[in-house]
């Protein structure tokens, strides 16, 4: 019985050590600094004028993690071209009010906003297709 408890303690210590330095907010999605991070308190002002293309995501979502580098490249490419379009992201596990308001039902959900008005996006997930949507709507 003592060996069982020693083994259990060893597993606990190994688990704690393996997760040291990982905050509760670190769920795996890598954020590109070119992507504007929006929160419940900043969302409305960010979309009220101009064009914003927003990715609503959950950090644990595999499809979201796969899209993250492409979303970052989209933001960098458009900035390099001098576009005024905002490429943004909202973590729906933290900013639930915004995601509920915009009826996000799955992840990632991509929505364009032109002067605060929603523009649905159901296209491809490659940089060129995403960029074409931004160019067409901004």
99 labelled catalytic: no
* Residue of 64, 85, 90, 134 with catalytic role: 64
Name the residue with tokens 């940089």: 127
The two tokens of residue 35 are 């992507």
* Other beta carbons less than 10 A from residue 52's beta carbon: 24
64 labelled catalytic: yes
CA distance 72 to 21: 25
* Residue of 35, 47, 54, 61 with catalytic role: 61
CA distance 46 to 49: 7
Counting every residue written for the chain, the total comes to 138
Residues marked active site are found at 61, 64
């Amino acid at each position: 019985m003592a060996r069982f408890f020693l083994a259990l303690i060893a597993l606990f210590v190994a688990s704690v050590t393996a997760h040291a330095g990982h905050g509760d907010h670190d769920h795996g999605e890598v954020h590109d600094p070119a992507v504007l991070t929006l929160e419940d308190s900043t969302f409305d002002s960010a979309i009220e004028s101009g064009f914003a293309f927003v990715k609503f995501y959950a950090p644990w979502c595999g499809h979201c993690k796969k899209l993250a580098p492409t979303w970052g490249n989209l933001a960098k490419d458009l900035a390099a071209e001098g576009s005024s379009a905002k490429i943004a992201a909202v973590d729906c596990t933290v900013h639930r009010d915004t995601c509920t308001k915009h009826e996000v039902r799955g992840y990632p959900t991509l929505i364009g906003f032109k002067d605060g008005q929603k523009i649905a996006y159901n296209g491809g997930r490659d940089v060129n297709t995403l960029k074409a949507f931004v160019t067409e709507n901004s």
